[in-house]
Structure 1
Amino acid sequence: MMNFKIQGFFTTLIIGTVAALSISDAISQKVNAQAAPSCNNATIKGSYGTKFTGTFAATSTSIAVVGLVQLNGNGNLQGTDAGSGNGTIFTNRTLSGTYNVKQDCTVQIIFTSSRDETIFLSGIIVDGGKEIFVLQTNPGSVITGTLKKVK
């Protein structure tokens, strides 16, 4: 009779321990999955295809732009693009500029174009630097874009 009580106690103890360890492991994985990101300028080093669409509110000008930029990992960039502003096409616009990545994986980008335009972007780095989602922050613009790593 005593053996059944001891055996039942140990069975309950083992089941309880396994359950506690499983819960602890699940909590640990959840915490690790939600750990704060850690980025820097080198996180987005390389070639990125770009795509921007939107409008300039003041003039109701719709735009669509695609291009290629090179980010050097130290905060400088260069590239070219082509686009359409209300149907007026431009090609071979050259770009140069700077970018600054914060530890939380947000990024500020400033492009200067060969058409004497300065474009300010704020964004977030996603998927370990494979993509960057951006919003143009020039007053009067409602333009969003994506920079996608070229393999």
Structure 2
Amino acid sequence: MNFKIQGFFTTLIIGTVSVLTISDAISQKVNAEAAPSCNNATIKGSYGGTLTGTVSEIPVASVGLYKFNGTGNFQIISSNSANGTISTNNQGSGTYSVKQDCTVQIGFSNGSDTYSGIIVDSGKEIFLLATVQGSAVTVTLKKVN
């Protein structure tokens, strides 16, 4: 009977260690998948974008095509509305910087338009907020396939 008890405890210990090892491996895999890892190349390519909000209490809206080069520069062509006045074929450019945590900073070459945001779904979408005093503007960019 003593051997049966020893066998039971040996099996119990081996089983417990196995469960803990498997649990730890699963936890490490989940944590590795949850930790974002982005850089400027994460948003390389073309994105369709919409912008809405207000600037100095003037309603603004825009749709455009953003082209990110993967190394920190971008170009845009857009159609814009400011207080109902429409303009088309507006061109712009600027720089961007992506951090490892998938946050992004974007600045237009005019020096006055800056945005802060987050890259989601492995670079398929970008959500931005204007960081200029007096503006309440959001931008949503979606990867063009």
RMSD: 2.1
In 2: Cα distance, 1:98 partner to 1:75 partner:
5
The CA deviation at 1:134 is 0.7
The one-letter code of the counterpart of 2:85 is T
Q: Normalising by the residue count of structure 1, what TM-score does the alignment of the two structures yield?
A: 0.82
Equivalent residue number for residue 10 of structure 1: 10
Deviations 1:70-106 (A, max 9, x none): 1111222112111222322221111122222233322
In structure 2, the CA distance between the partners of 1:123 and 1:70, relative to structure 1 (3 Å rule), is same
Equivalent residue number for residue 53 of structure 1: 52
Equivalent residue number for residue 74 of structure 2: 77
The one-letter code of the counterpart of 2:12 is T
Instruction: Name segments (4+ residues, structure 1) moved above 6 Å.
Output: none
Q: Does 1:109 align with 2:106?
A: yes
Question: What is the aligned residue count?
Answer: 145
* SS of equivalent to 1:73: coil
Equivalent residue number for residue 25 of structure 1: 25
Equivalent residue number for residue 96 of structure 1: 93
In structure 2, the CA distance between the partners of 1:18 and 1:86, relative to structure 1 (3 Å rule), is same
Equivalent residue number for residue 117 of structure 2: 123
- Unaligned 5+ segments in structure 2 are none
* SS of equivalent to 1:54: strand
The CA deviation at 1:40 is 2.2
Q: Normalising by the residue count of structure 2, what TM-score does the alignment of the two structures yield?
A: 0.85
The CA deviation at 1:20 is 1.6
In structure 2, the CA distance between the partners of 1:117 and 1:93, relative to structure 1 (3 Å rule), is farther
- Unaligned 5+ segments in structure 1 are none
In 1: Cα distance, 2:51 partner to 2:37 partner:
26
* SS of equivalent to 1:43: helix
In 1: Cα distance, 2:33 partner to 2:41 partner:
22
The percentage of counterpart residues that share the same residue type is 50
